[in-house]
Structure 1
Amino acid sequence: MRILAIRGENLASLAAPFSVDLAGGPIGATGIFAITGETGAGKSTILDALCLALYGRYPRVATGGRERAPDPGGDPITIGDERAILRRGATEGFAEVDFIGRDGQGYCARWSVYRARGKANGRLQNKTRSLTRLADGGSVGDSKAGLVDAAICELTDLTFDQFRRTVLLAQGEFDAFLLAAEGERAELLEKITGTAIYSEISKRIHAGAEAQRATVKELEAHRDAVGLLDEAARAEKHAERARLQAEVAGLSGQLADLNAALAHARRIADTRGLVAAAESRLTVARQALETHRPDSLRLAELDAVEPLREPARNAARAERDLTAAEAALVLA
């Protein structure tokens, strides 16, 4: 984000229209400058106009207080109402900021307010805000649609609180920082820059480290409580381990033999089951054979006379031929 220009009119002590060009002229060429002037000349008002145009608020009234102050319009306003920046006796005022957004394009953010009927004692009307592109004047959003705040945060990558803590440090907070004691300065700096979260992270890391140190000490105590064996005891333990390993090897061999015997017994049991099933089928077959024995004998007889079937047919044919021949003989 880069600020190009700040403009405004009828804001606090600045009655006449003003314009600060930060992109051209001596200021643009210098790159660094200071705003100086007498108290009440409007130095802070220029920075207020910057915040008003971008975010519709400025640090000096960014408070949730409910105290009310009189207004020429008749209705008192709260001390946190940014419309109170309108100069006394003025009927309208505005603040504008030209800037380059994150996308590299130029934009103009505007904040304005006016009094009813164009009179100095008219009732304050609602503020209006807009955001337009410098290149073509096209509107990016308006305050009624609620798009200006979202667009500003997107284009600047800063919320109002982040902007006033990093870009625009409020005068009261800076004075407090400069005059603070050395012990309080770090706390104020965290408050101004919003980096208190890092202190909290550091505290949590320290607490976690202490807890881990306590755990390590406890583990070391347990380790130290374990006694070490002398050389003779270690030799005895090694000998016992060798004896047990030998026993395990022997038992492993026995286990292999037992597993083989068990597998053989299972095969025998399976074979016996198959034999019993075969015997049962054989008994059923024998019973069926006894039941059908007459049919078997009849089939045996038929099988025995089957070879005589053709000679019998030939004999019958010969007898028919003989009868026919005798008849023909008698006729002859």
Structure 2
Amino acid sequence: MKLHRIEIENLSSLYGEHVVDLDVDLQGAPLFVIVGPTGAGKSTVLDAVSLALFGETPRLDNSRARDRGDDVDSRHIMSRGTGVCRAVVDFSRAENDGARTRYRAGWSCHRANRQPDGAFQTTRRSLERALPEGGFELLVDDPRKKVYEPHFERALDGLTVQDFQRSILLAQGEFTALLKASADEKAAILERLTSTEIYADIGRRANAMRRAATQAFEQAQARLDALKVMAPDELSDLEARRDAAAERRDATRAELDRRDADVRWLVRAAALERDAVAEEEALAVALAAQEGARGDLARLDEDARCRPASALAAAVERDEAEREALEARGEALAATVTALDARL
């Protein structure tokens, strides 16, 4: 993680708005010292970083303060006589591909009606992510922990406030106690600050794993020692039986191949026989149909033989019709002549 910019408003002794631009003011220096008289606000700058990232400050939220019964509410860091306070931190972290992603984390608090004598209201947490084209996009801005916490966990890549205070920000009270403590007390404080008890736990687990591995090895060795080495003549006999079994296997496979060929031939022969029977049945049906149509064929032959005379018969019929028509007209004319003669 790399810090870039810190904004402070009404935190402890730092009244009003203050900005520390580490990139511009310190030109990105990797190591710097914050100096000043007591009460100047040196620790408040570090408090602002912790508040913006985790919503806690080690000076107000640590085990010694709780043991003393002090009020550990982080909202009490608000400067006296003010109604609002906030802390904003711009930071970046390296991604797996080496690129850096920049975020802007915020913590804010105000009293009722933003008046100095108002009751403390619920704090808000906000988180923004820098855009490639410039500016920031808002990821979350909410007073509810269940809403903002997942966003901060992803942005901080799992870094907890305890990790931050042990590796990056050492609380002033813890450091003072460390300087004044005895050798044994210093060891206890360092163990609490750095969580070196986890290494003792790792050692215990590693020792347990070593014992389990040793036991497993001894059991495997015992099983190996219990194995009986085969005599040369027994080995030769076993190899001969293996070779004989291999020969029987090959012979069996060859016999299976022959049987498969026979089965395929039989299947093909059965299919051909079924096809022959079907062809014979079809031929019988065709012959029966031909026999049934024999009368129709005779009539067709007779029709074909007589068809040339059909035209002559038609002509005779036409001539006969014309003759009858002429006879009818002749009779009609004769009747007409008779009628005329009678009138004359």
Tell me the TM-score range normalised by the shorter chain: 0.5 to 0.7
Q: Is the 8 A contact 1:67 1:79 kept in 2?
A: no
Q: Which residue of 2 aligns with 1:198?
A: 199
Cα distance in 2, alignment partners of residues 80 and 214 from structure 1: 51
Q: Which residue of 2 aligns with 1:43?
A: 42
Q: What letter matches 2:107 in structure 1?
A: W
- Tell me the number of residue pairs that the alignment of Structure 1 and Structure 2 aligns: 222
**Which consecutive unaligned segments of at least 5 residues does structure 2 have?**
218-233, 235-344
Inter-CA distance 209–16: structure 2 relative to 1 (3 Å threshold):
same
Q: Among 123, 130, 135, which residue is 1:127 paired with? A: 123
Cα distance in 2, alignment partners of residues 191 and 21 from structure 1: 33
Residue 127 of structure 1 and its aligned partner are, at CA, apart by 1.0
Cα distance in 1, alignment partners of residues 169 and 36 from structure 2: 18
Q: Which residue of 2 aligns with 1:115?
A: 111
Q: Which residue of 1 aligns with 2:268?
A: none
Inter-CA distance 36–4: structure 2 relative to 1 (3 Å threshold):
same
1:284-308 residue CA offsets vs partner (Å, 9 max, x unmatched): xxxxxxxxxxxxxxxxxxxxxxxxx
Q: Which residue of 2 aligns with 1:14?
A: 14
- 1:116-265 to 2 correspondence within 5 Å? 116-134=112-130, 135-144=134-143, 146-157=146-157, 158-206=159-207
**Which consecutive unaligned segments of at least 5 residues does structure 1 have?**
70-77, 217-244, 246-332
Cα distance in 1, alignment partners of residues 88 and 16 from structure 2: 14
1:211-240 residue CA offsets vs partner (Å, 9 max, x unmatched): 999999xxxxxxxxxxxxxxxxxxxxxxxx
Inter-CA distance 208–110: structure 2 relative to 1 (3 Å threshold):
closer
Q: What is the CA RMSD across the aligned residues, in angstroms?
A: 3.9
Q: What letter matches 1:160 in structure 2?
A: V
TM norm structure 2: 0.54
Q: Which residue of 2 aligns with 1:294?
A: none
Q: Which residue of 2 aligns with 1:91?
A: 83
SS of the aligned residue for 1:174 comes to helix
Q: What letter matches 2:173 in structure 1?
A: G
Residue 183 of structure 1 and its aligned partner are, at CA, apart by 4.4
Q: Is the 8 A contact 1:99 1:107 kept in 2?
A: yes
SS of the aligned residue for 1:154 comes to helix
Cα distance in 1, alignment partners of residues 35 and 7 from structure 2: 18
Q: Which residue of 1 aligns with 2:263?
A: none
Q: What letter matches 2:171 in structure 1?
A: A
Cα distance in 2, alignment partners of residues 180 and 68 from structure 1: 18
